Amino acid sequence: MRINPIVYGVLVLVAFFGIILGFQSAGIWSTSGKVTTSGEAVQPSAADVNTIKGWMTLQQVSETFSAPVAEILSQFSLPADTPPSTAIKDLETDLFSLTNLRIWLQERMQATTQP
């Protein structure tokens, strides 16, 4: 008995996408990186600036690292009327980038922990 190649291709695609969609609907598979497997929003860790992601907002970073939004905006010469709900990736300029923000926050954390 020989399987028709078209039927075989369809079965492979159904199995592949069926597994992915099944696990996503069960809450086990997340491709966004914005939520954990339990459905909770991913938050930056105050102990590690590398947990900051570009999709995170100024407000999230501000709250986690105790750095007022106004201070972040003035440090990187960003417009003072920038909403705290703005994603970091949407603010990229020559002076401001995710890498520069991480470096600044790391230096700020070290300055506050030194005697």
Task: Tell me the pLDDT tens digit for each residue of 7-50.
Answer: 999 999 999 999 988 887 877 766 666 666 666 666 676 778 88
Terminus-to-terminus CA distance in the chain, angstroms?
Answer: 79
**The residue type at 102:** R
Domain assignment of residue 100, yes or no: yes
- Looking at residue 15, its pLDDT comes to 94
Domain assignment of residue 38, yes or no: no
pTM reported for the whole predicted model: 0.62
Q: Tell whether 68 and 92 lie within a shared domain.
A: yes
- Looking at residue 37, its pLDDT comes to 62
Handedness of CA 59, 46, 68, 104 (dihedral sign): negative
Q: What is the pLDDT of residues 75-108, one digit of tens each?
A: 998 999 999 999 999 998 888 888 999 999 989 8
Token digits for 78? 């960003």
Indicate the number of domains in the chain. 2
Q: Tell whether 59 and 16 lie within a shared domain.
A: no
Domain assignment of residue 42, yes or no: no
Domain assignment of residue 71, yes or no: yes
Domain assignment of residue 66, yes or no: yes
Q: Tell whether 107 and 61 lie within a shared domain.
A: yes
Q: Tell whether 17 and 64 lie within a shared domain.
A: no
Nearest alpha-carbon partner for 72 in 48, 96, 89: 96
Beta-bridge mates of residue 87 = 57
Q: Tell whether 63 and 109 lie within a shared domain.
A: yes
The residue segments making up the domain with residue 93 are 49-113
